[in-house]
Chain A
Amino acid sequence: SQQGEEDPQALSIQEGENATMNCSYKTSINNLQWYRQNSGRGLVHLILIRSNEREKHSGRLRVTLDTSKKSSSLLITASRAADTASYFCATDEDYSNYQLIWGAGTKLIIKP
């Protein structure tokens, strides 16, 4: 099955540090979305960035998009214990098949 790529697979940092995770995709997109999943729960939408945008902010979140490299990064600044979760990116590169392409996820652990 198609799947986007995310790295790292897992990331463990101290509370207060910044966390960066990356997502790469294969073909052209209209938009890219980031979602968070707390353990065993449903995914929660964080941010959507369109292909004509290079950077977007939402609170402590900063998303960048580089369409020439077909990649995006999610930066969480001043991390908190509550940020411990898995983070997934999703693109509409398979728009014609009416499905999002999801990354495998980055598991983020914030140590107190």
Chain B
Amino acid sequence: DSGVTQTPKHLITATGQRVTLRCSPRSGDLSVYWYQQSLDQGLQFLIHYYNGEERAKGNILERFSAQQFPDLHSELNLSSLELGDSALYFCASSASGVRDTQYFGPGTRLTVL
């Protein structure tokens, strides 16, 4: 158990819909990262938050947005969903920055029908 929790575990929705994925980092970790992993693919970095502030953006679509709240939990919002958005979405946390070990949550499997 990494100490990072993600909800929900599975999400099935229709094209055009909007969903919110939630992540609670390990206790004490200030950084939260979001990744997308399509079937049998590598990790695509989406976004990094540090102590409530956005630090880096990767391949995140304009239809996607994220935020990190004062209690350090984070949410990833995906809107106007398309079939191609079906993937595993991982959240990871680290103590401070990218030079620290990242601890991954179990992921949310999103299926868009």
Contacts and interface: CB of A to CB of B under 8 A. Distances in A.
B107 A100 contact: no
Interface in B2-28: 2, 4
Contacts, number: 66
B42 A3 contact: yes
B72 to A, nearest CB: 17
Contacts of B92: 42-43
Interface of A: 1, 3, 30-31, 33, 35, 40-45, 48, 88, 90, 92, 94-95, 97-100, 102-105
B98 interface: yes
A16 to B, nearest CB: 27
B43 A88 contact: yes
Chain B interface size, as a band, is: 20 to 34
Interface in B73-113: 88, 90, 92, 97-99, 101-107, 109
A30 B45 CA distance: 20
A71 to B, nearest CB: 18
> Which 7 A/B pairs are nearest by Cβ-Cβ distance?
A42-B104, A98-B56, A98-B55, A104-B42, A43-B104, A99-B56, A45-B101
Given A42-B92, A99-B58, 9 more contacts: A35-B102, A43-B102, A88-B42, A88-B43, A95-B99, A98-B55, A98-B97, A99-B98, A102-B45
A45 B56 contact: no
Contact of A98 (B43, B50, B102): B50
A42 B45 contact: no
A98 B45 contact: no
B2 A42 contact: yes
A9 to B, nearest CB: 10
B101 A48 contact: yes
15 contacts: A35-B104, A40-B88, A41-B106, A42-B2, A42-B90, A43-B92, A45-B101, A95-B98, A97-B56, A98-B98, A99-B33, A99-B98, A100-B45, A100-B98, A102-B43
A45 B103 contact: yes
B51 interface: no
A62 B88 CA distance: 30
